[in-house]
Amino acid sequence: MAATQNDFSDVQAVYLPIAAVVLAVVFAAFLFAVVRYRARDGRAAKPTREHNALEVAIALGLAAIVAVLVVVTFGVDDDEAKVAGRPAFRVDAVAFKWGWQFTYPGLPGVVDRTTDTAPPALHVPAGREVAVRLSTRDTTHAFWIPELRYKRDAWPDVAQTFALTFPAGQHLSGHCAQYCGLRHSDMVFTVQALGREDFAAWVARARGRRPGP
């Protein structure tokens, strides 16, 4: 299980109970109003009254809930955006209409890129921190890996770096999650998280030579 998915599962564990309580309170108030103040024969409607104290309490309660969710969400998001000074591996991910290009600063000349016949595969070492530098050549795109519950928008003229750890032994699917034109659906890629030996073999193949003994 990737660290990213675990982190956002913790966020979900905060959101769901709060959402359940809010939903229960709203429905209880609705049902109370329907039953208590329903129309009855021989009963005239009473003038409405202000309940300032109750309204202030509700507003403060909602503000407290929003504050908690903002702190929890942005706290996890900041943790995901932090990149160690010397991460295990670096990738430059460039989005464009309508594809992806992945280059590896530590592996000069190695490129995984969308072609006319196949989507690219992002190759990463499994279980190690990977620093991804995301940018776009044209319009807004998004780097989205559903299995990791991770999405990061790519904005024109802005490069951003974030860190991810990928689970071992899994091939993940990636997509652009921002509609970017007629061939938006073509903007897919795969992620191959390889163990130490498999990753070394891929590097050797990508560099055009056989692995050493």
Could you give the CA distance from residue 51 to residue 156 in angstroms, rounded to a whole number? 50
What does DSSP say about strands 141-145 and 150-154: parallel, antiparallel, or unpaired?
A: antiparallel
Confidence check: pLDDT of 46 > 50: yes
Burial letters for 131-148: b for 16+ Cβ neighbours within 10 Å, e otherwise?
bbbbbbeeeebbbbbebb
pLDDT reported for residue 187: 93
Binned at pLDDT 50, 70 and 90, residue 211 comes out as very low
Confidence check: pLDDT of 40 > 80: no
Which residue has better confidence, 171 or 41? 171
Confidence check: pLDDT of 210 > 80: no
Residue (of 96, 101, 78) closest to 162 by Cα position: 78
Binned at pLDDT 50, 70 and 90, residue 212 comes out as very low
pLDDT tens profile 165-196: 888 777 899 999 989 888 898 899 999 999 88
Binned at pLDDT 50, 70 and 90, residue 2 comes out as very low
pLDDT tens profile 54-104: 788 888 888 888 888 888 777 766 665 565 556 668 999 999 999 999 999
Which two three-digit tokens encode residue 202? 């891929």
Reply yes or no: is the peptide bond before residue 98 cis, omega within 30 of 0: yes
**Nearest-10 Cα torsion for 101, 105, 109, 111:** -20
pLDDT reported for residue 102: 95
Residue (of 200, 188, 202, 121) closest to 112 by Cα position: 121
Q: Under 8 Å CB-to-CB from 158, ≥6 apart: which residues?
A: 135
Tell me the C-alpha to C-alpha distance, in Å, between residue 188 and each of 104, 162, 173.
19, 20, 7
* pTM greater than the 0.75 cutoff: no
DSSP string, 169-186: T-EEEEE--S--STTGGG
